Amino acid sequence: MHDPHSERMSGSETRAASGLALVFAFRMLGMFMVLPVLATYGMDLAGATPVLIGLAIGAYGLTQAFLQIPFGVISDRIGRRPVIYVGLLIFAAGSVLAANADSIWGVIAGRVLQGAGAISAAVMALLSDLTREQHRTKAMAVIGMSIGLSFAVAMVAGPLLTRVFGLSGLFLATAGMALLGIAIVAWLVPRSVGPLHHRESELAREALGATLRHPDLLRLDLGIFVLHAILMASFVALPLALVQKAGLPKEQHWWVYLTALLVSFFAMIPFIIYGEKKRQMKRVLLGAVTVLLLCELFFWQFGGSLRTLVLGTVVFFTAFNLLEASLPSLISKVSPAGGKGTAMGVYSTSQFLGAALGGILGGWLFQHGGLGVVFLGCAALCALWLAFAVTMSEPPYVTSLRLPLSSVAVRDAGLVERLLAVAGVTDAVVVAEEAAIYIKLDTEQLDRTSLERLIEAAPARAEA
């Protein structure tokens, strides 16, 4: 047994975080590895047109968007593991279908089936079941890093694998990774006692209305929608620009993405530190969206040589990775107490819908106007996002906490009111069915230990 208040993650928590991070990483690798190669290699498939290539790039987002919340709800009923196993098997089946396709429609069908294995919500819920409150943010950060790393690896591994094994070999590799994910969940990830309900990691129906009416959450949802639409549309155009404009053979594209991702990873870190330490996240967000807009205009106007395309790609990925890392953090800050899981569910749905629209839009614009029109279309999307982002409020710099309550404290009608009167506490809600309280607090004004003392004193006050 481990000490419930220990400041170190236990062995089982470490195994849970690392195992589920690997599952996420393998699945995301399978999703992303096709991005840098589908626009170039996919044109050899029977029936391929730019519009259909774009649809193949973004198709996974359609089924992912519509099924990830239902899969999460089902996992509350029948357990996390069965849902994760079925989701990974569906993903593997989609990969095999795409691998055996000899036409673009077969690849599209495979990508749609890949997206139907929508296990994100179930994996995050299982992570919550297996980690203590004080380590949950740390565990989720491990998964966040694994997603970022898998994207970087995919940009390089996709072109290298396709060069050696072709598109079918690439899809078979993604099927293998899905099956490896099943083995990791079965043998590495510890067993949980059963689904625990955490509003910070799962959808709460009663919080959905407030989430969909929250102006700043909606601005962030629009942001991730546009960000992934631009990513997918850009991957219709960028690989083709490298071939057609810069004369770089498709087998050599990997070094462009490797350079861009390595430089961008280190370039974005100072901006993240500045935004958090100086409490200037809105300024960082607006700056990154502006840079993204300028990148698309740069591609449109100057993307005619290898040097300018590589330079533009490095700056593009710096802004993209900065926004990809910042937006979930902003969702956590802005969402009401006990509403983070619901807010993240809507946010993820927006992300996948953006990916679907971006692929289709990128292909359609390329087919009807060429590369320049794709970049202009992406710039227009950035301008739309910027217009909405400018009006957002500076986010509150708060941490979300979930603390268990005794049966007496749950019945204490004045607990929330007293906590809200404490400097540093910005929001609080008691959820009686979980015997827990969700709190948002500014850790520069109030630390966790002081807060726990206040809550532990609540039963005494309630009985007095």
Confidence (pLDDT) at 462: 46
C-alpha–C-alpha distance, residues 71 and 84, integer Å: 9
Indicate if the pLDDT at residue 206 is higher than 80: no
Percent of the chain exceeding pLDDT 70 equals 94
Between 190-194, 296-300, 328-332, 384-388, the lowest mean confidence (pLDDT) is in: 190-194
Joined together, the tokens standing for residue 309 give: 């395309």
Confidence (pLDDT) at 389: 96
Q: Give the DSSP H/E element, type plus range, for residue 293.
A: helix 281-302
Which string of DSSP letters, residue by residue, matches 140-197?
A: HHHHHHHHHHHHHHHHHHHHHHHHHHHHHHHHHHHHHHHHHHHHHHHHTSPPPSSPPP
Confidence (pLDDT) at 464: 47
Over range 210-236, report the average pLDDT.
Answer: 94
Over range 426-446, report the average pLDDT.
Answer: 84
Indicate if the pLDDT at residue 218 is higher than 60: yes
pTM, two decimals, is: 0.90
Confidence (pLDDT) at 339: 84
Per-residue pLDDT tens for 290-331?
Answer: 999 999 999 999 988 999 999 999 999 999 999 998 998 899
Indicate if the pLDDT at residue 180 is higher than 90: yes
Confidence (pLDDT) at 195: 64
Torsion of CA 261, 262, 266, 267, to 10 degrees: -50
β pairing state of 425-431 and 436-441: antiparallel
The average confidence (pLDDT) of the chain is: 89
Confidence (pLDDT) at 6: 57
Confidence (pLDDT) at 409: 80
What is the separation of C-alpha 384 from the centre of its chain, rounded to a whole number of angstroms? Answer: 21
Residues ≥6 apart with Cβ < 8 Å to 402: 133, 198, 199, 200, 338, 436, 437, 438, 439
Q: Around 13, how many Cα atoms within 13 Å sit in the side-chain half-sphere? A: 21
Closest CA to 124 of 24, 28, 271: 24
What is the separation of C-alpha 297 from the centre of its chain, rounded to a whole number of angstroms? Answer: 26
* Cβ neighbour number for residue 462 with a 10 Å cutoff: 16
Domains of the chain (ranges plus CATH)?
11-192 (1.20.1250.20), 212-225+237-397 (1.20.1250.20), 399-463 (3.30.70.100)
Percent of the chain exceeding pLDDT 90 equals 58
Over range 387-415, report the average pLDDT.
Answer: 86
Find out whether 429 and 437 touch, Cβ atoms under 8 Å. Answer: yes
Per-residue pLDDT tens for 14-40?
Answer: 999 999 999 999 998 988 999 999 999
Confidence (pLDDT) at 49: 93
